[in-house]
Structure 1
């Protein structure tokens, strides 16, 4: 049976900016198909303009009702995982969410205060997601909803100055 949850490792970068108001920016830049035996926030590399860190691990969950979204992601030509970082106290960040659903990723990006970026989905993770889609996807035909016809009398103008009729006249 395909897995509906698995752990991945995440890599984030701290990039220097040439800006009068902010001197650096944190961005998710990669995902690892397995979690390395390294402490979270271990520095992986450093250059004059960028430092990369292993940010830690996060569980990715797959849901049967979203298999169409996962399939859209896989066939997009650039399968991605959407990673959301949430600012903690000071300059510290935590991994808030990771999803393989592109529509959920788009919704995460609408929030204020979180950094949300798509990162390339590693091939082993693509295989897990594809196996899940193959096992559980059910094609649902599009059914256009038929609307009720409008009642033109309900929308008509009424004379509000006329006296109401009573049943005794």
Structure 2
């Protein structure tokens, strides 16, 4: 199976909340094609109570067996990159996962403590993804499965007296 790895940078936003139990909220905000010349976990901007942080590098992996999923993403009208952020035991937020597979991205929300967003896919990543699909996609024809027919010569199971499925007992199951 062919695999292509692509390094991307992840930007997150940290917002101050007016909440007695939680001080801040972290959310993924942008995917950068390539890696900027900024150290991971660096503050890159602030406006009022909102801060933007460069969290660091993440690796997108394209697998040849998933090309139909990637194609679904590209033709959706809003191609996306799913990013999941997770808080460590020390309280620092980091990238838990990044994918362009919409079905894998949907599964990211199964971890309820993660912050997951479907972010707009940068054009450079879409071009790389389309080239990977063109090189590795194999169309799988749909085959409708036929039901097995009941064998009229097969013996019926024996049910004991009083069993609800026994014929002629007068009882309903």
TM-score (norm 2): 0.83
Segments of structure 1 that go 5 or more residues without pairing to the other structure are 163-169
Corresponding residue of 2:119: 119
Corresponding residue of 1:165: none
**Counterparts of 1:32-43 in structure 2 under 5 Å?**
32-43=32-43
CA contact (8 A) 1:11 1:29 kept: yes
Corresponding residue of 1:167: none
Residues 115-155 of structure 1, C-alpha deviation per residue, up to 9 Å, x if partnerless?
A: 21111111000000000011111111222222223568877
Classify 1:161/1:24 alpha carbon distance in 2 versus 1 (closer, same or farther; 3 Å). Answer: closer
**Counterparts of 1:53-132 in structure 2 under 5 Å?**
53-132=53-132
Corresponding residue of 1:50: 50
Classify 1:17/1:158 alpha carbon distance in 2 versus 1 (closer, same or farther; 3 Å). Answer: same
Report the more deviating stretch, 152-161 or 112-121.
152-161
- Per-residue deviation, 1:113: 2.3
CA contact (8 A) 1:3 1:128 kept: no
Classify 1:138/1:161 alpha carbon distance in 2 versus 1 (closer, same or farther; 3 Å). Answer: same
Report the more deviating stretch, 70-79 or 108-117.
108-117
Corresponding residue of 2:144: 144
Report the more deviating stretch, 110-119 or 145-154.
145-154
- Per-residue deviation, 1:57: 0.5
The size of the alignment, in residue pairs, is: 161
Which ranges of 4 or more aligned residues in structure 1 deviate by more than 6 Å?
A: 151-157
Corresponding residue of 1:10: 10
Segments of structure 2 that go 5 or more residues without pairing to the other structure are 164-173
Q: Secondary structure at the match of 2:57?
A: strand
Distance 2:149 2:116 in 1: 44
